[in-house]
């Protein structure tokens, strides 16, 4: 009788374990919504055996982000390291976050997904996009914003990302959404874009140009690619006037955001408009979209220790079973720690990821910069 009871308990435990395993691996992060399931996590184009080493390389490079913009040699290596960063995090962020890898203000009585879509559609409205427009998406990632903006406006969107794995993911999502005829994705460095002068009617970037060692370089490229009179809107990661460089807590929060987000250095809010004007743009509007009455953008990050340990254990099991590559747990933990710093930045008000600036390329720019030749 005792042996029979033990066997029953053993089988019951096994069934429960298998059921939990199925739910964790196959149900968490449903692909229809997010694009990735836990069992499908890869590290971009990095071979399985190299993931841990490439993660260590990334972490060592961004240990002291502020030094990167001061060193020409280090700044030249930033594009390669950012490519590595997106190889490491793309699948994890799709699984845990979705296809739009950016923040948005919380909207009362609306889901995170709806709030994200509204934040993206604001770009189409600010640029007054129409079906006849050809629009540049600078740093498009896996194309979540691109698809929302194309669906709202009917415009033809051309996205550029430095990461070839993201190009493949974006193209697959575009086909699945039936938008591959209006959404095009190319692989390239937004500091040296493979587009002709004055070839776009409008442009936008959503939390992407913060990766540039020098903001004027990417703004200058966007200016070059726009037609005279073309509009550009961007959501930038910046420190606010509440940030104090002599406050150790503020400094650690900002450095934590930089280290875990592949940022050469977060810029001050007042630098954005100044840089846009420096490359030739007219600034039409500038404001922080995170300020009240907008809801807190960081609320999605506060998943708590229970959710962290759930994901940590799941990824550890997948790594042990060799379903996920060695190093995925470390990348997940890095992103979790970064989320803590981002939350602190939002709660203290010293950081915002959505400083919006709307710019116009002057109609006379063609004569001034030679774009009309």
Using one digit for the tens of pLDDT, what is the confidence trace for 277-303? 999 999 999 999 999 999 999 988 876
Confidence band, pLDDT 50/70/90 cuts, at residue 29: very low
Q: How many domains does the chain have?
A: 1
CB distance 338 to 260 below 8 Å: yes
Neighbouring-strand partners of residue 137: 159, 204
Q: Is residue 105 part of a domain?
A: no
Residue 306, judged by CB atoms within 10 A of its CB (0-12, 13-18, 19+), counts as exposed
- Residue 143 sits in a domain of what CATH number? 3.40.50.150
Q: Is residue 36 part of a domain?
A: no
Average pLDDT, the chain: 88
Q: Which two tokens stand for residue 139?
A: 């740093």
* Per-residue pLDDT at 40: 79
Range from 44-53, 165-174, 263-272, 341-350 carrying the lowest mean pLDDT: 44-53
* Per-residue pLDDT at 244: 97
Domain residues for the domain of 136 are 112-241+267-296+352-366
Q: Is residue 224 part of a domain?
A: yes
Confidence band, pLDDT 50/70/90 cuts, at residue 37: confident
Give the list of residues 6+ apart from residue 345 with CB closer than 8 angstroms, or none.
Answer: 253, 254, 257, 298, 351, 352
Confidence band, pLDDT 50/70/90 cuts, at residue 42: confident
Using one digit for the tens of pLDDT, what is the confidence trace for 98-136? 999 999 999 988 888 999 999 999 999 999 999 999 999
Mean pLDDT over 341-357 rounds to 97
Q: Rounded to whole angstroms, how far apart are CA atoms 4 and 298?
A: 52
pLDDT above 60 for 41 = yes
Q: Is residue 228 part of a domain?
A: yes
The pTM (predicted TM-score) of the whole model is 0.88
Confidence band, pLDDT 50/70/90 cuts, at residue 10: low
Q: Rounded to whole angstroms, how far apart are CA atoms 209 and 265?
A: 11
Q: Is residue 47 part of a domain?
A: no
Q: Is residue 37 part of a domain?
A: no
Using one digit for the tens of pLDDT, what is the confidence trace for 220-255? 999 999 999 999 999 999 999 999 999 999 999 999
């Amino acid at each position: 009788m005792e042996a029979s009871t033990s066997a029953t308990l053993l089988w019951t435990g096994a069934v429960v374990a298998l059921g939990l395993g199925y739910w964790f691996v196959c149900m968490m992060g449903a692909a229809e919504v997010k694009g990735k399931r836990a069992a499908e996590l890869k590290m971009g184009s990095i071979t399985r055996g190299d993931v841990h080493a490439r993660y260590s390389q990334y972490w060592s490079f961004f240990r002291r982000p502020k030094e990167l913009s001061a060193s020409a040699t280090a700044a030249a290596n930033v594009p390669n390291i950012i490519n590595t960063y997106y190889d490491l995090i793309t699948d994890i962020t799709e699984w845990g976050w979705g296809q739009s890898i950016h923040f948005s203000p919380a909207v009362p009585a609306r889901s995170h997904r709806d709030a994200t879509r509204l934040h993206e559609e604001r770009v189409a409205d600010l640029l007054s996009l129409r079906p006849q427009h050809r629009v540049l998406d600078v740093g498009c990632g896996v194309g979540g914003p691109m698809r929302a903006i194309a669906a709202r406006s009917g415009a033809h969107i051309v996205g550029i990302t430095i990461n070839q794995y993201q190009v493949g993911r974006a193209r697959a999502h575009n086909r699945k959404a039936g938008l591959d005829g209006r959404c095009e994705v190319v692989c390239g460095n937004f500091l040296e874009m493979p587009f002709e002068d004055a070839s776009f009617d409008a442009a936008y970037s959503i939390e992407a140009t913060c990766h540039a060692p020098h903001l004027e370089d990417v703004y200058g490229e966007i200016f070059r690619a726009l037609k005279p009179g073309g509009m550009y809107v961007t959501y930038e990661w910046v420190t606010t006037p509440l940030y104090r460089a002599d406050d150790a807590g503020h400094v650690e929060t900002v450095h934590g955001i930089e280290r875990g987000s592949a940022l050469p250095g977060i810029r001050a809010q007042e630098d954005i408009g100044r840089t846009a004007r420096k490359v030739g743009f007219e600034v039409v509007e500038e404001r922080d979209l995170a300020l009240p009455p907008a809801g807190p953008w960081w609320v999605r990050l506060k998943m708590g220790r229970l959710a962290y340990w759930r994901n940590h254990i799941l990824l550890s099991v997948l790594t042990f079973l060799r379903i996920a590559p060695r190093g995925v747990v470390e990348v997940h933990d890095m992103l979790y720690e970064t989320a803590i710093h981002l939350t602190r930045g939002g709660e203290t008000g010293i950081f915002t990821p959505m400083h919006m600036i709307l710019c116009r390329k002057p109609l006379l720019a063609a004569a001034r910069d030679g774009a009309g030749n």
